[in-house]
């Protein structure tokens, strides 16, 4: 079994040595461990530092492309190297690389396709109560969309089997974390969780400058995932709500018109009711279109899966 440990890096010269030194040299059940560094347009000495620490495999972006794209390119590179398992860890030494052996175990034993390290965010000292609560809420929403029960959906310390990587197609550019879970859940892949203790924080998150930005970007990713995988929940739910709301003014119009023996003075209700009904109808139409596009995407993804199998066959 070949394991590729990939480290996406944007200016990580200070912390990368700690990460590289703590990646195990030997893991039971793994014959070869390869480290690959994805340099996402770093302007510091990240690449030189990695070389000095023995890294031989690099994916390089001349310009910053974002973590999502870096993950995507790193995965294709690892598959080209013939990886059976790909572990992703961050360059800021947030995650305990010593635990990579435990992370890959369920995949080696055939018990999981993807393993996500649970950072046990409720125990992290530097997370505020609000951030911990957000973390829980975020994970709950992702689990709902994916049909999973994972404690920590935003963790970037993960192991993926070759099979899962052939089936996943990430499109988000800023982060792949929630997207891969929602896709994997909807494709029936088995996702396991392993509790880990995180290392002390060495620097602020660069992915999100503020909690507000984090919430907004995560919300957009999750809404998009719903539109992609469960359009009926969004459009169907909205359409049904508007339809029921539209019935109220209609009922009012009919009731008052019969009682007064004239429609005069009640046309406003009819108008509002019609408007709500038309909007509800539009939602149902959108639902049908989204579903048709979803069917198309399934076919395209099937195609991509076959292409990847041909390309990465070892
Ligand atoms: N490739 C790439 N990596 C990034 C970018 N921003 C952050 N990273 C890397 O992604 C990982 C996580 O970033 P970090 O700032 O620690 O965000 P956190 O996950 O919120 O702690 C680190 O290894 C960074 O080097 C980016 O724009 N591109
Ligand atoms: Mg970090």
Q: Is the CB of 206 under 6 A from ligand 1?
A: yes
DSSP string covering 114-178, please?
A: EEEEE--GGG-TTS-HHHHHHHHHHHHHHHHHHT---S-TT---EEEEHHHHHH-----SS--HH
Is residue 172's pLDDT more than 90? no
Q: Is the CB of 97 under 6 A from ligand 1?
A: no
CA distance 66 to 22: 25
Cβ atoms of residues 274 and 243 within 8 Å = no
Candidates 123, 161, 166, 116; CA nearest to 142 is 116
Distance from the alpha carbon of residue 283 to the mean position of ligand 1, in angstroms: 38
Residue owning the nearest CA to atom 27 of ligand 1: 66
pLDDT tens per residue across span 97-138: 999 999 999 999 999 999 999 999 888 878 888 888 888 888
Residue owning the nearest CA to atom 12 of ligand 1: 90
pLDDT tens per residue across span 29-60: 999 999 999 999 999 999 999 999 999 999 99
Q: Which two tokens stand for residue 81?
A: 């190297």
Is residue 174's pLDDT more than 80? no
Confidence of residue 83 (pLDDT cuts 50, 70, 90): very high
Distance from the alpha carbon of residue 264 to the mean position of ligand 2, in angstroms: 66
3-state secondary structure 7-51: EEECCCCCCHHHHHHCCCCCCCCCCEEEEEEEEECCCCCHHHHHH
Which of 18, 40, 124 to probe ligand 1 with, by most ligand atoms within 8 A of CB? Answer: 40
Task: Pick the range with the lowest mean pLDDT from 35-49, 194-208, 240-254.
Answer: 194-208
DSSP string covering 185-224, please?
A: HHTT--EEEEE-PPPPP-S--SS-SSHHHHHHHHHHHHHH
Q: Is the CB of 66 under 6 A from ligand 1?
A: yes
Residue 174 alpha carbon, nearest atom of ligand 1: 27
Residue 68 is classified by DSSP as: H
Confidence of residue 231 (pLDDT cuts 50, 70, 90): confident
Q: Is the CB of 300 under 6 A from ligand 1?
A: no
Cβ atoms of residues 278 and 243 within 8 Å = no
DSSP string covering 223-235, please?
A: HHHHHHH-HIIII
Mean per-residue pLDDT of the chain: 92
Residue 156 alpha carbon, nearest atom of ligand 1: 19
The predicted pLDDT at position 314 comes to 62
Cβ atoms of residues 43 and 13 within 8 Å = no
Confidence of residue 224 (pLDDT cuts 50, 70, 90): confident
pLDDT tens per residue across span 95-107: 999 999 999 999 9
Residue 91 alpha carbon, nearest atom of ligand 1: 23
Q: Is the CB of 92 under 6 A from ligand 1?
A: yes
pLDDT tens per residue across span 255-276: 999 999 998 889 999 999 999 9
CA distance 136 to 117: 15
The predicted pLDDT at position 311 comes to 95
Cβ atoms of residues 83 and 166 within 8 Å = no
Confidence of residue 212 (pLDDT cuts 50, 70, 90): confident
Residue 208 alpha carbon, nearest atom of ligand 1: 20
Cβ burial 7-34 (10 Å sphere, 16+ → b, else e): bbbbbbbbbbeebbebbbeebeebeebb
The predicted pLDDT at position 205 comes to 80
The predicted pLDDT at position 222 comes to 80
Residue 11 alpha carbon, nearest atom of ligand 1: 25
């Amino acid at each position: 079994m070949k394991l590729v440990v990939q480290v996406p890096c944007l200016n990580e010269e200070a912390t990368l040595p700690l990460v590289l030194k703590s990646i195990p040299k030997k893991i039971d059940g793994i014959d070869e461990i390869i480290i690959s560094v994805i340099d996402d347009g770093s302007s510091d000495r990240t690449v030189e530092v990695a070389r000095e620490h023995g890294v031989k495999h690099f994916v390089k972006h001349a310009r910053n492309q974002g973590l999502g794209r870096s993950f995507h390119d790193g995965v294709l590179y690892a598959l080209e190297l013939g990886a059976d398992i790909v572990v992703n860890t961050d360059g800021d030494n947030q995650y305990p690389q010593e635990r990579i052996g435990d992370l890959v175990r369920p995949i080696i034993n055939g018990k999981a396709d993807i393993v996500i390290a649970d950072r046990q965010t409720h125990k992290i000292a530097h997370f505020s109560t609000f951030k911990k609560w957000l973390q829980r809420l975020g994970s709950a929403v992702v689990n709902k969309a994916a049909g999973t029960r994972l404690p920590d959906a935003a963790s970037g310390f993960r192991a993926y089997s070759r099979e899962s990587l052939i089936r996943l197609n990430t499109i988000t550019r800023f982060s792949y974390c929630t997207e891969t879970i929602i896709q994997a859940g909807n494709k029936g892949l088995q996702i396991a969780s392993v509790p880990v203790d995180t290392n002390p924080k060495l620097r602020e998150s660069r992915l999100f400058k503020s909690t507000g930005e984090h919430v907004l970007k995560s919300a957009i990713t999750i809404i998009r995932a719903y539109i992609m995988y469960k359009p009926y929940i969004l459009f169907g739910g909205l359409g049904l709500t508007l339809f029921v709301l539209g019935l109220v003014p209609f009922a009012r119009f009919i009731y008052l018109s019969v009682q007064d023996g004239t429609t005069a003075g009640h046309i406003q209700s009819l108008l509002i009711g019609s408007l709500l009904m038309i909007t509800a109808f539009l939602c149902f139409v959108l639902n049908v279109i989204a579903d048709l596009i979803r069917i198309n995407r399934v076919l395209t993804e099937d195609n991509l899966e076959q292409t990847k199998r041909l390309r990465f066959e070892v």
